[in-house]
Amino acid sequence: MGSHTKNALTVKTIASSKARKLRDGGGLWLVTKGQGRYWIFDHRFGGKRREMGLGPLHTVGLAEARDRAEAARRLLRQGVDPIGNRAAAEIEAARAKAAVRTFGEYADAFVNDAVKAGRWRGASTEARWRNMLTNHAGPIRSKPLADIDVAAVLSALRPVWGSKQETAEKLREAIERVLDAAKVEGLRDGENPAAWRGNLEHVLHRPDSLTTTTSHAAMPFKAVPKFLTGLQKLDTIGARALEFTVLTAARSGEVRGANWGEIDLERRLWIIPPVRMKGGREHRVPLSGRAIAILTEMQSKRLNDFVFPGAKDRAPMSENTMSKVLRENGGKGFTVHGFRSAFRDWVTEATTYDGALAEMSLAHVVGDAVVRAYARSDALDRRRELMADWARFVTTMPKKTEKT
């Protein structure tokens, strides 16, 4: 069945032909078996003629079949049995595919898959991602996935870095997640050029004005311990709610709506159901010692099902309560939501924790590669350590430097 002439078939020829065997050349054939049509690679190895299945026509198109056949040929030239080492053949095929698949094509598919899987809640998230990966990532959209390096990533980030900082940081995270997913599929290898820690942090620097120019102005993380020390002196529900928000790095709405049915004091967990989460997924929050102390205090003053009850009977705390506490106690100009950014900056700049662990603690969606890496039983335990260290940091006043 072999032939040295390659690429004899066309999509039109395949669709119109009823022949049971169609030759593309170079050992690649489309054959009919039963009711299905399948790709096979006909070759010789160890002096024996063999056939390697490359997949059914309904899932493997002509272009991909050629990529897989070429990957098998490369292995043969190296003296490797493509059937005996099918994993190597699949990696070779993925690399061949990546050589022509661009970042833009893969990024669009990544967004489409996320939408189909229901990983995002609401059209606004989808629109934001499409805008970032279509417009702001424009400089790298036409580049092959396998060729994206640090220089390429910087070409997309630098036009907005420092001027549209919040957009720039979200763009970096989006590119990182797309490239993580591509690596899982075997379309890339090596380190992620969009990673921040140990990589872009050495060439890009966050502007000092970042914490006061974004829509969610964040108190610098180094100022949080002093703020929280003052907050602990206030004997109000609003103060306790704000302190609990800082300790858990949760969204204000999640804290205001927290009810006692979500709290497991014995396991030291706050389990927020999907219906109350922005991402529509259950979120388990490990509770530090100070967070437990706050809950114990609130339990002794319990009025209804809300952990932090509002002024009105059986109603949650007002949206403005924590903002007012923040504003009137040394936090004017900052936002409650900004404490999440302070937590994230602390992880990046003051700890050795993996950034992905911080993203999980913030209930952010992370790339497929990271999901696989952390979808283990120790994820909660590692996040518990992280949140305990954060609690120690924000509840410990820095030592004053003695004057000489």
219-234 per-position pLDDT tens digit: 999 999 999 999 999 9
pLDDT for the residue numbered 93 = 61
pLDDT for the residue numbered 401 = 45
Structure confidence at residue 209 as a pLDDT band (50, 70, 90): very low
pLDDT for the residue numbered 145 = 85
pTM of the model: 0.50
pLDDT for the residue numbered 120 = 63
User: In degrees to the nearest 10, what's the CA dihedral of 234, 271, 306, 243?
Assistant: 10
Q: What is the mean pLDDT of residues 324-351?
A: 91
The rounded mean pLDDT for the chain is 83
pLDDT for the residue numbered 359 = 83
- Token pair in block for residue 93: 């095929």
Q: Has residue 6 got a pLDDT over 80?
A: no
Q: Which residues contact 217 (CB under 8 A, 6 or more apart)?
A: 211, 333, 334, 335, 338
Which of the pair, 152 or 36, is modelled with greater confidence?
Answer: 152
Q: Give the orientation angle of helix 224-231 with respect to helix 338-350, to 10 degrees.
A: 130
Helix then strand then coil, in percent of the chain rounded to 5, is 50, 10, 40
Separation CA 75–CA 346 (nearest Å): 48
Long-range contacts of range 300-308, CB-CB < 8 Å, 24 or more positions apart?
301/237, 302/260, 305/259, 305/260, 305/261, 306/257, 306/258, 306/259, 306/260, 307/255, 307/258, 307/259, 307/260, 307/263, 308/237, 308/238, 308/240, 308/241, 308/244, 308/255, 308/256, 308/258
pLDDT for the residue numbered 88 = 62
Q: What is the mean pLDDT of residues 285-314?
A: 91
pLDDT for the residue numbered 278 = 77
Q: Has residue 374 got a pLDDT over 60?
A: no
Q: What is the mean pLDDT of residues 374-395?
A: 82
Contact yes or no for 252/320 (Cβ under 8 A): no
Q: Has residue 47 got a pLDDT over 80?
A: yes
What are the CA-CA distances from residue 138 to residues 130, 152, 156, 364 (Å)? 11, 11, 7, 24
Q: Has residue 10 got a pLDDT over 60?
A: yes
pLDDT for the residue numbered 140 = 93
Q: Has residue 211 got a pLDDT over 90?
A: no
pLDDT for the residue numbered 34 = 77
Least confident of 25-29, 308-312, 382-386: 308-312
pLDDT for the residue numbered 266 = 94
Q: Has residue 97 got a pLDDT over 60?
A: no
- Token pair in block for residue 367: 């790339």
For 124, other C-beta atoms within 10 Å of its C-beta total: 9
Q: What is the mean pLDDT of residues 13-39?
A: 89
pLDDT for the residue numbered 94 = 59
Which of the pair, 183 or 44, is modelled with greater confidence?
Answer: 44
Q: Has residue 399 got a pLDDT over 70?
A: no
